[in-house]
Amino acid sequence: MKKYDVIIVGAGAAGLAAAAVAQARGRRVAILDMGSTPARKVSASGGGRCNFTNMAAEYSRYFGQNPNFVRGALSRVSPNDILDWAKVHNIAATEKAKGQYFSASGADAVVSALLRDINKCDLITNCSVSNISKPDDVFVTETGLGTFSSDSVIIATGGTSFPVLGVSDIGHKIAKSFGHKIVPIRPALCAIATSAFSSELAGISLNAQIKIGRAIITDSLLFTHFGIGGPAAYRASLYDTADGIYIDLCPNTDVAQWLRTQKQTAGRKNMANTLNAILPVRIAKWIAGADTRNIADFKDTEIIAIANRINKIFIPANDIKLHGMQSAEVIRGGVSTDTISSKTMESKLCSGLFFAGEVLDIAGDLGGFNLHWAWASGRVAGENA
């Protein structure tokens, strides 16, 4: 049975970040991964361009039963720290949107840099962990390739989203075996199925606003054959939609007032042609329907009703269905943070046991927040294991 100082389960973003820091501290490290290649989600992130951090990475952009949990790690590892790391590794960072940084050299450059940082670690692939126990103050990790022992263990197995890349719930099972609660998981950062829109709108995208409780999301919305997708819908999927959601297709326009003005100034136009000035043609026709009357002939109550179909589209909870894990970018839920130290990522129930990344009940907003959480929580775990 080979002995290490630290065994890390999972060679994703969090696991590799943890390994690099632990190695730098002189620890003997083994990284065990069930797949044949490490950092598979990193390679696929950002459409292969790897959106690796966001300057707006703060606790308000994270979700979970206790999003404040992220404060400790985020205070230790800032977006500038990650940009500095990229610069040291000759990874050119390109700012696609304000504060949203991608690798100009592609995701593979990020993966290569991560692997260079762990050159003294034992990276063992195709190694499925079946059980971890702690008899006599030493962790015993049982795998399909034999048994390993260590003083510390870092669980960085990620979530169970995007199964085509090879995922497992072993991290949650290990956590439960040591007494940790698992917050029920569900898909997040995914498309939403709803009957609120016609499939004839599929392929249209526009800037829209989604309101969920007090939260307001303004981003690009894509209509699909089954409902809605695009950044706005993906971000909305992070929230609890039990009270339904409101969608505004013209967030900067009071459509009722605008239509009243059009009624006075361009009353001979029909509704579809009128709405086409502020909406894509197919959406304008869908809202107007078969009504070909001149806008001058519309009563004020009718104008308000049409405006509400644009500014105040309500979708009840029973008409909202999140797409499954197969297409979700992350999960909501995971190992409860109630019994994890936010300063060290160490379990409060078992000394020497650490957790990092998506395996925890933390999910970040769209735009590099999840990778930043992986780097930050992984580094903190690696500093303390």
Largest CA distance in the chain: 86
Cα gap 90→50, rounded to integer Å: 15
What CATH number is given to the structural domain containing 26?
3.50.50.60
Q: Are residues 174 and 312 in the same domain?
A: no
Domain total in the chain: 2
Cα gap 42→236, rounded to integer Å: 23
> Are the C-beta atoms of residues 10 and 124 closer than 8 Å to each other?
no
pLDDT of amino acid 165: 76
Q: Are residues 64 and 146 in the same domain?
A: yes
Q: Are residues 319 and 331 in the same domain?
A: no
Cα gap 116→150, rounded to integer Å: 23
DSSP string, 253-300: --HHHHHHHHHHHSTTSBHHHHHTTTS-HHHHHHHHTT---BGGG--H
What sign results for the dihedral spanned by CA atoms 21, 22, 26, 29? negative
Q: Are residues 27 and 176 in the same domain?
A: yes
Whose tokens are 């696609």? That residue is 96
Q: What is the pTM of this model?
A: 0.95
Residue 32 in tokens = 């065990």
Q: Are residues 111 and 143 in the same domain?
A: yes
pLDDT of amino acid 374: 98
Q: Are residues 306 and 203 in the same domain?
A: yes
State pLDDT tens for residues 134-189: 998 999 999 999 999 999 999 999 988 877 777 889 999 999 999 999 999 999 99
Q: Are residues 153 and 254 in the same domain?
A: no
Residue 377 pLDDT greater than 90, yes or no: yes
Range of the domain at 81: 2-186+327-384
State pLDDT tens for residues 230-288: 999 999 999 999 999 999 999 999 999 999 999 999 999 999 999 999 999 999 999 99
Q: Are residues 57 and 126 in the same domain?
A: yes
**Backbone torsions φ then ψ of 339, nearest 5 degrees:** -115, 30
Q: Are residues 76 and 168 in the same domain?
A: yes
Please identify, among 297, 323, 349, the residue that sits at the C-terminal boundary of a domain. Answer: 323
Percent of the chain whose predicted confidence (pLDDT) is above 70: 100
- Burial track 6-34 (b if 16+ CB lie within 10 A, e otherwise): bbbbbbbbbbbbbbbbbbeeebbbbbbbb
Q: Are residues 230 and 283 in the same domain?
A: yes
Please identify, among 323, 340, 369, the residue that sits at the C-terminal boundary of a domain. Answer: 323
Q: Are residues 332 and 213 in the same domain?
A: no
Instruction: Give CA 265 to chain center in angstroms.
Output: 46
Cα gap 292→306, rounded to integer Å: 14
Q: Are residues 50 and 169 in the same domain?
A: yes
pLDDT of amino acid 186: 96
State pLDDT tens for residues 333-370: 999 999 999 999 999 999 999 999 999 999 999 999 99
Please identify, among 270, 295, 323, the residue that sits at the C-terminal boundary of a domain. Answer: 323
pLDDT of amino acid 135: 94
